Amino acid sequence: MEKANVVITGASSGIGKALSLKFCQDGKSKVLGIARREERLKELKRQCSESFEYLDLDLSNPSSAEKVRDYVAEKFSPLGILVNNAGYGLYKGVLEMNTEEVINMTNVNFVVPILLIKELSPYMEKGSMVVNVLSGGVFVLMTKLPLYGATKMAFHYASEALKRELKTKGIDVLNVYPGVVETEFHERAGGIQTLKGLSPEEVAKAIYDSIKKRKKNLFIPWYLRLAKLIFGPALPSFF
């Protein structure tokens, strides 16, 4: 992988943190991490030193995309890789959620990632890449995380369309479909705290390797690809 400037959202924990460390440690990349928890971003800065910069932003606010754009335009251009990794869910039915929860989740999981692609793509040269971390759950109906699934499905749909649009600019798109990952996600969502799955480091390594290989899709574990092949656009109830 050639030397590149990399923007990673959700960089303070889980997959985003592991991927930030992976890029910082490769000796060829510089990372701009985006997240809300500044203390965790400061710790990443201490670990990565000059290879890591950060912006503490709340991605539930659409104006955050413009703030990232302004920083990239001034200090981080050209941008080689954009990783839309930030996302969260709630173990609630759609009708149980209040207005703020609906709006914030939709913004973080769908609206702001689209805005980031729109705002940052002018600073990306031919051969650069957008990485969208989606969910293996988009091919089933996640009955306990319905709005999360809906926002990720919307992002999946838009990301497929963006593959065509960005191709004209010479920018590739990698869609990532992870299964259960052992992060804070489920605990913060109000669900099972001990749910077992892949480690963030395993997923980060798979994403990093897929970027190097210029892949278009990554299903991790691999057998999640079968869900897409078997169910297609249908949504059998699951989880």
Residue 232's pLDDT is what?
A: 60
Please measure the distance between the N-terminal and C-terminal CA atoms of the chain and give it in whole angstroms.
37
pTM for the model stands at: 0.93
Residue 151's pLDDT is what?
A: 98
Per-residue pLDDT of the chain (239 residues; tens, 9 = 90+): 578 999 999 999 999 999 999 999 999 999 999 999 999 999 999 999 999 999 999 999 999 999 999 999 999 999 999 999 999 999 999 999 999 999 999 999 999 999 999 999 999 999 999 999 999 999 889 999 999 999 999 999 999 999 999 999 999 999 999 999 998 888 888 886 656 789 999 999 999 999 999 999 999 987 677 766 666 655 555 55
Domain count, the chain: 1
Q: Could you list the beta-strand ranges (E) of 75-196.
A: 79-84, 124-133, 141-142, 172-178
Alpha-carbon dihedral of residues 89, 92, 97, 102, nearest 10 degrees? 20
CA distance 106 to 111: 6
Q: Are 131 and 206 in contact (CB under 8 A)?
A: no
Contacts of 163 (CB under 8 A, 6+ apart): 173, 175, 216
In degrees, rounded to 5, the angle at the alpha carbon of residue 119 between the alpha carbons of residues 116 and 122 is 125
What residues are paired with 238 via a beta bridge?
142
CA distance 2 to 134: 25
Residue 184's pLDDT is what?
A: 86
The CA-atom distances, in angstroms, between 159 and each of 74, 97, 219, 224 are 27, 26, 15, 18
Q: Is the dihedral of CA 113, 119, 123, 126 positive or negative?
A: positive
DSSP assignment of 133-149: E--GGGGSEETTSHHHH
Q: Are 174 and 211 in contact (CB under 8 A)?
A: yes
Please list the alpha-helical segments (H only) found in 37-83: 38-48, 64-75
Q: Classify strands 217-220 and 172-178 as parallel, antiparallel or unpaired.
A: parallel
Residue 24's pLDDT is what?
A: 96
Q: Helix crossing, 146-167 with 112-120: angle to 10°?
A: 20
Residue 135's pLDDT is what?
A: 95
Name the strands in the sheet holding 4-9, side by side, starting at the edge strand that comes first in the sequence.
Answer: 52-56, 29-35, 4-9, 79-84, 124-133, 172-178, 217-220
Enclosing domain of residue 223: 4-238
> For position 177, which CATH number holds?
3.40.50.720
